[in-house]
Amino acid sequence: MSKFGEHLSFTAQASYAHSLKEANDVLKIV
């Protein structure tokens, strides 16, 4: 269960970082 929680947290962080990067790219384009 702990491993699953860690994986979930990691996935959420990665997805969050990805969204930030995409938003950054969009701002750069604009």
Distance (Å) of CA 28 to CA 3, 15, 18, 21, 23:
37, 20, 15, 10, 9
Average pLDDT (1-26) is 92
Average pLDDT value over all residues in the chain:
91
The answer on pLDDT for 2 being more than 90 is no
The answer on pLDDT for 21 being more than 70 is yes
Sign of the CA dihedral with 9 first, then 13, 18, and 19 last: positive
Distance CA 11, CA 29 (A): 27
> Percent helix, strand and coil across the chain, each rounded to 5?
95, 0, 5
Question: What pLDDT was estimated at residue 20?
Answer: 95
Band (pLDDT 50/70/90 cuts) for residue 1 is: low
Band (pLDDT 50/70/90 cuts) for residue 29 is: confident
